[in-house]
Chains A and B, each alone.
Chain A
Amino acid sequence: MKSGIVVIAEISADGLTPSCRDVIYFAGRLAESASEDMLVLVPGHFPDTNQLPCRGADATKHEDHPFSKGGLGKFSYKDAEEIASAANCDVAVLVGDHLSAYSAEAWIAALSPVCRETNPRFICIPHTSRGWDYGPGLAVRLGASLIGAVEGFRLHAGNFFFKRSFLKGQWQMEVLPEMWPVVMTILPEAKGKEGAASLGATRSAGKKDRPPRVSFLSIPTKDLRTKPLGRLPAPETAYDFSEAEVIVAAGKGIGSAENIDLIKRLAGVFPKSAVGCSRAVCDLGWMEHRRQIGMTGRTVAPPLYIACGISGAMPHLAGMRNSRCIIAVNRDKNAAIFQVAHLGIVDDLLTFIPAVLEQPGKKKQESSNG
């Protein structure tokens, strides 16, 4: 089982995650540029695998514990076949009872021997809260180079340069790996703006000599020092996010807790509105955590999103970039939020919002909703 590009899939209760589909798409493009084969590895414990030719797979039921099950849901042989045929690549499912719930330690232990045997040039991992949890450790164990939050790549004179952002998304760097393999965590958006492409959209290359295969590898249980206990639900979402046509979100640029009132009053201008905020605002205690929008908060996609004093670093963008229309207000014309905005206003919030509130004809809605 040799392959030049390995993708480590992430699955949830609903099967392959959307961000993982994006990464398979990204890896497909990389595979084409590098003229390499692609292999998708799917670690987990799969209840239906006792029916399959997988030596040593243990299909005993999970014991009950006080948390909801951390299991890997409904992913099945059929799903593995679907990935294989759609992406035109081999799929190897890593089966182990200790892989029933995620831990970095178990994942690294299970993946590193398989990656070593596969001997790839590139290992692509979704840049999710799990991917960047185990990705760096996997890189060290493989003696690999490591590039995080990759947004794209460029092939120049036989070298692959990988693009990533830093300093709140205002700057970008190109990173050149100097060791092989290269472990990368890939931002979901790295697929580009073509939209939700199907898995195989770029795979005109690939294995021509035989159809893609699905295989199952039984992963022996290890003595682990990390014991997963289960999942705890996210804090309750602000009830009005899904109903709102307009979400007005505050960033640290609002300056102080007292100024949050201005955000609420701006939201009051719109009949069906809600207020949200960036992580920084929650961390400062200026707004409740259930109003947080972004990677570790809620993902929203309202018809209109108004970002007030939000710099636009990747974790926030992940939670709102699919809003139909985005208006950004920021003092700094270089703020990364303007990358995704349709309409930009470079101004101080403490000047701009009062100017909006004082415009004639706005009082009616404000008094009925504010």
Chain B
Amino acid sequence: MRILVCIKQILAPELVELSGRHEIKAGDEDPCPLTMTPPDDDCYRLNPSDEYAVEEALRIREAVTDVTVDALSLGPKRCRQVLLRALEMGANNATLLHLDRPAPLTPFETASILASYLRDKDYDLILTGVMAEDGMNGQTGQLVAELLAIPCATAVISERLLSPQGPIYVEREEDGGERTAYEIYLPAVLTIQSGINRPRYPALSHVLRARKQEIATLDAASLLPAPRERIAGVSRTESSATCTFIVGTPIEKAGQFLDFCRQKGFLGP
């Protein structure tokens, strides 16, 4: 059985918040005004839910015989970093679909490129994270599945193969934490909910081995489809008109906080 994990390198959202080193520029002439000015490579990381997906693929390989786990990413050269991470964790092979474009791809563009590449690859199971923390779309897995005309389940919180070639038993998480269970015939796409497992920390021997492994690189520019929607503008979310900020030293803030709670009766009689 062959498993593919699609992983994304993201700009760490908390660095966007805290460092101020990034600039998202808005401009009307630009066909896509959203560009995230790249600072240095340490601001990028593997999207968290994709890390859970890599771990889940490795666990399936450990539970069943004769499984290979490949990792695939799409983007500029710096995305080799996340593929290297997947190899360090234990993936068998890694491939980069190379595309150097400053503007972020829409989920449809990403999925179209992935699906074009995957069409003749015959993977039995395709895993990816439930949502990328930067774009917050959570659509790529479903789009890839539909483009390949195979079933998909999102927000998967538990799964196990019912036989080595499938079907696979899947529980997906719904609103309020309720779960729904499915039996799905392979090939299929599963998007993995964060928290499904505890991703391993690569052992040093694996890190050293991964460094010697080759990361296949293919040019993806020719696979880019015509856009179906485009980002017409970006802005900082406006600051709230209703929030009153307490200012002062920590002691003063603490005092005002407690005064507020006392006035509202939350501190009891």
Residues of A within 8 A of B (CB): 67, 70, 101-105, 108, 128-130, 132-137, 139-141, 144-149, 161, 165-179, 182, 224-235, 245-246, 269-272, 279-280, 282-283, 285, 289, 292, 295-299, 303-304, 311, 313-314, 325, 327-328, 331-336, 338-347, 351-352, 355-356, 358-359, 362, 365
Distance in Å: Cβ of A115 to nearest Cβ of chain B: 14
What are the residues of chain B within 8 A of A135 when measuring CB–CB? 139, 142
- Given A146-B107, A226-B151; A176-B229 close (CB under 8 Å): yes
By beta carbon, the residue of chain B nearest A143 is B228
Contact of B142 among A133, A178, A246 (CB under 8 A): A133
What are the residues of chain A within 8 A of B133 when measuring CB–CB? 168
A-B contact pairs, 29 of them (CB 8 A): A130-B174, A136-B107, A136-B146, A140-B143, A145-B228, A167-B134, A167-B136, A169-B237, A172-B236, A177-B229, A182-B229, A226-B182, A226-B185, A228-B181, A230-B181, A235-B177, A280-B194, A283-B194, A285-B198, A296-B155, A296-B176, A313-B136, A331-B18, A334-B17, A334-B239, A341-B243, A343-B246, A356-B257, A362-B258
* Contact, CB under 8 Å: B173 / A246: no
What are the residues of chain A within 8 A of B246 when measuring CB–CB? 343-345
Q: Please give the number of chain B residues whose Cβ is less than 8 angstroms from any Cβ of chain A in the complex.
A: 81
At the interface, is chain A mostly helix, strand, loop or mixed? mixed
By beta carbon, the residue of chain B nearest A193 is B242
What are the residues of chain B within 8 A of A171 when measuring CB–CB? 24, 234-237
* Contact, CB under 8 Å: B174 / A346: no
CA–CA, A180 and B83, complex, Å: 36
Distance in Å: Cβ of A207 to nearest Cβ of chain B: 30
B204 at the interface (CB under 8 A from A): no
Distance in Å: Cβ of B241 to nearest Cβ of chain A: 10
Contact of A298 among B176, B228, B257 (CB under 8 A): B176
- Given A129-B174, A170-B17; A136-B139 close (CB under 8 Å): yes
Distance in Å: Cβ of A227 to nearest Cβ of chain B: 4
Contact of B255 among A297, A298, A334, A359 (CB under 8 A): A359
* Contact, CB under 8 Å: B137 / A148: yes
B253 at the interface (CB under 8 A from A): yes
Contact of B177 among A102, A167, A289 (CB under 8 A): A289
* Contact, CB under 8 Å: B254 / A296: no
Most chain A CB atoms below 10 A, which of B143, B169, B267:
B267
* Contact, CB under 8 Å: B242 / A342: yes
B6 at the interface (CB under 8 A from A): no
What are the residues of chain A within 8 A of B135 when measuring CB–CB? 166
B212 at the interface (CB under 8 A from A): no
What are the residues of chain A within 8 A of B234 when measuring CB–CB? 171-174
- Given A285-B198, A341-B243; A146-B237 close (CB under 8 Å): no
- Given A283-B195, A343-B244; A174-B231 close (CB under 8 Å): yes
Within 8 A of A (CB), among B214-269: 227-237, 239-240, 242-246, 250-251, 253-255, 257-258, 260-261, 264, 266-268
B145 at the interface (CB under 8 A from A): yes
- Given A226-B151, A233-B178; A173-B34 close (CB under 8 Å): yes
- Given A146-B108, A314-B136; A70-B185 close (CB under 8 Å): no
CA–CA, A71 and B246, complex, Å: 50
* Contact, CB under 8 Å: A359 / B258: yes
By beta carbon, the residue of chain A nearest B137 is A148
What are the residues of chain B within 8 A of A355 when measuring CB–CB? 250-251, 253-254
Most chain A CB atoms below 10 A, which of B108, B150, B181, B230:
B181
CA–CA, A246 and B147, complex, Å: 48
Distance in Å: Cβ of B123 to nearest Cβ of chain A: 15
What are the residues of chain B within 8 A of A313 when measuring CB–CB? 136
* Contact, CB under 8 Å: A231 / B179: yes
Most chain B CB atoms below 10 A, which of A104, A137, A233, A333:
A137
Distance in Å: Cβ of B122 to nearest Cβ of chain A: 16
CA–CA, A352 and B13, complex, Å: 24
B9 at the interface (CB under 8 A from A): no
* Contact, CB under 8 Å: B143 / A136: yes
Q: Beyond A289-B177, A298-B176, list 20 extra A-B contacts (CB 8 Å).
A: A105-B152, A129-B172, A133-B152, A149-B136, A166-B135, A168-B13, A173-B234, A176-B231, A226-B185, A233-B179, A269-B261, A279-B194, A280-B194, A296-B173, A296-B177, A298-B177, A325-B264, A338-B243, A358-B254, A365-B268
By beta carbon, the residue of chain A nearest B133 is A168
CA–CA, A331 and B17, complex, Å: 10
What are the residues of chain A within 8 A of B16 when measuring CB–CB? 167, 170
CA–CA, A136 and B227, complex, Å: 15
* Contact, CB under 8 Å: B243 / A231: no
B188 at the interface (CB under 8 A from A): yes
By beta carbon, the residue of chain B nearest A332 is B17
B138 at the interface (CB under 8 A from A): yes
